[in-house]
Amino acid sequence: MNSHFPQTIQEAKDFQKEIASEVILEDKLSEIKTIGAFDISYKQDMAFTAGITIDNATEEVVEEKVIVSKIQFPYIPTFLFLREVPSFISLLSKISIKPDLVLIDGHGIAHPKNAGSATVFGVLANIPSIGVAKKPLKFFEYRSSEVKYLEQVFLNEKVVGYKYQPNTNWNPVFISPGNLVSVKSSFTFIQNLFKSRFKLPEPLHKAHNLATEFRKEH
């Protein structure tokens, strides 16, 4: 993998293609002791990137960290990774407990290039990752599944993730593997992390709150 992070849209397109070729959609997790969740809150030209790590058995937060950086790229649809992944990589290097699995607020392979933020992060960091996005991409097609409140997400006639709405009063989330996790397992892992009072899986809910609170304080 070329270590040079793209600086132009054309470089980004080539980079996504390379990332997609490196993705492993197999479960490479023998045991999940810790789960990380990363999210970003923005204020003007600053990014507040928060990460929390929880003990999967006790559900207790064992570490939390926030880093602040200047935004290097504007928001460009389907190229969100340019804006966010450098911060996620930097955050991972600064936390003392490396999670067995990381949840990213964003798409994984459910992306027109099969390389959303969760996938780019997972491949670059060589860590199991899952994307949980709050908004769909216009390229998605949906087909029903045997599970209530669950639809399969298709791109180019391939299942790349799931649309999940555990509470009909909430907007759905869009789940897809980033790297080193199978498509089916990406939903299984996330489903078990939903609590009835939160609209996001609990680790991402906590990461989102941490990033938001830190932004407001600064």
Q: What is the pLDDT of residue 59?
A: 92
pLDDT digits (tens, 9 = 90+) for 132-169: 999 998 889 999 988 888 999 999 899 999 999 988 88
Higher pLDDT, 147 or 71: 71
Half-sphere exposure of 56 (CA within 13 A, CB side): 15
- The neighbouring-strand residues paired with 103 are 37, 130
Average pLDDT over the chain, rounded to whole? 93
Q: Tell me the average pLDDT across 94-112.
A: 96
**Predicted local distance difference test score (pLDDT) of residue 2:** 45
**End-to-end Cα spacing for the chain:** 37
| Residue range 111-126: mean pLDDT, rounded | 97
Q: Give residue 119's pLDDT.
A: 98
Distance of CA 90 to the CA centre of its chain: 15
Q: Burial letters for 157-191: b for 16+ Cβ neighbours within 10 Å, e otherwise?
A: eebbbbbbebeeeeebbbbbbbbbbbbebbbebbb
Q: What is the CA radius of gyration of the chain?
A: 16
Please determine, for residue 1, whether its predicted confidence score (pLDDT) is greater than 70: no
- Nearest CA to 141 among 125, 156, 122? 156
Question: What are the boundaries of each domain within the chain?
Answer: 34-217
| CATH number corresponding to 34-217 | 3.30.2170.10
% the chain with pLDDT above 70: 98
SS3 assignment, position 172: coil
pLDDT of 63 over the 80 cut:
yes
